[in-house]
Amino acid sequence: MICLHAGPPKRPLVATLAVFTFFALLYLSHLTWRSTGRSRIKYSAPKHSSSIPPAANTPLRPPELAKPENLTISGMVFFGRRSRVRSLHCYLERNLVDNGGWLDEVRFFANTKDKDDLAFLDQILKRSPRYKKIFIEKPVWWPDHTKLWRQVERGTMYIKLDDDIMWLADDAIPNMVTTKLHNPDLLAVSANVINGPPLSFLHYHHDALHPYFPELLPSNKKDEQPDPRQTPKNDTEKRSLPSWRPSEHPFWEGPNDFEWPLENEPPSDGHRWLRVPRRQGFEPHARRQVDLRFLGSNLRELGNRRAAALLIAGKT
């Protein structure tokens, strides 16, 4: 999660020294790690007594979250692309209080002048009285998005959702609201964003994100591959089609110096993207060129494939 402080800066000198000390310790720990080497570190599984079951056999049961009383929780959507909102709207409706969710209302900021987009928004507004349309005189883009926050009211918890969210966990909003309430000094709490540049680096190093390369096929093999877009005429043709599940695909094979820039076009119709195995001395080019800037190139490249992007903030 990304947390920002709410109030004015307190003791800037102390805060600066604390940050400097943290990075100094981090650097020293890195040097110590390199000097000792991984080969000297051994891990042993803990021994379990007969009276205590192993953790693997103990189901994780998070505490039941209850929606706080006397607090309005409002969703904020900077609406501008109906093609994406078609997916997001399913999760918005699911999270309304009428359907057992935590959203008391959803405010759609009409950040577009496209007539078809606005007509689609009007259709959504008819589905629930909890939906509200906020008119914007002139569409804005970053960094002018900050102007839209002038519409907020004190005493309300706001859940800011990008209009291109493609998936949202059922407990995402309850957990974020609870985290914010337990940490009132924080200005904002961010969700664990999938395909978001600031967190992709962490996901990769925790084995939650894997690089993929297009399958490399000899020219004489490409013609032999069945077209996955073709509708099978019978069960035999259906079984001959390649599986679309990445878990059933082989690992990518190719030279260590292979590169595939993000701006490249797909190599061929019907090709597969295969997971790149992690092997010693091989760092995929796609991983090396990840741009960790908030508004860097990766944000533009991944914008159409983002799975979730949330920000929660409280106005007190």
- The residue behind tokens 């043709």 is 237
So what's the pLDDT on residue 64? Answer: 75
Report yes or no: 284 and 211 within 8 Å, Cβ to Cβ. yes
pLDDT score of 50 more than 50: no
Report yes or no: 298 and 198 within 8 Å, Cβ to Cβ. no
Split at pLDDT 50, 70, 90, the class of 175 is: very high
Split at pLDDT 50, 70, 90, the class of 108 is: very high
Split at pLDDT 50, 70, 90, the class of 194 is: confident
Nearest-angstrom CA–CA distance, 19 and 31 = 19
So what's the pLDDT on residue 279? Answer: 62
Long-range residue pairs from 93-101, CB within 8 A, at least 24 positions apart, any chain: 93/127, 93/128, 94/170, 95/168, 95/173, 96/128, 96/130, 97/67, 97/130, 98/128, 98/130, 101/173
Per-residue model confidence as pLDDT tens digits over 64-89: 788 888 899 999 998 888 888 888 88
Half-sphere exposure in the Cβ direction for 289 (13 Å, CA) = 11
Weakest-pLDDT range from 96-105, 147-156, 184-193, 233-242: 233-242
Nearest-angstrom CA–CA distance, 115 and 239 = 45
Range 210-231 average pLDDT: 62
Percent of the chain with pLDDT over 90: 16
> Bigger pLDDT: 39 or 154?
154
Smallest CA-to-CA distance from 106 within 77, 145, 139 is with 77
Query: Which residues have C-beta within 8 Å of that of residue 33, sequence separation ≥ 6?
Result: none
pTM: 0.61
Percent of the chain with pLDDT over 70: 58
DSSP 256-279: TT----TTPPPSSTT--EEEPPP-
Weakest-pLDDT range from 25-39, 42-56, 146-160, 192-206: 42-56
Tally: H helices and E strands in the chain: 9, 9
Per-residue model confidence as pLDDT tens digits over 226-277: 555 555 555 555 555 667 788 888 888 888 777 777 777 777 777 788 888 8
pLDDT score of 31 more than 50: no
Residue 25: count other Cβ atoms within 10 Å of its Cβ. 10
pLDDT score of 135 more than 80: yes
Domains defined along the chain, listed by start: 72-198+302-315 (3.90.550.10)
| Mean pLDDT computed over every residue of the chain | 69
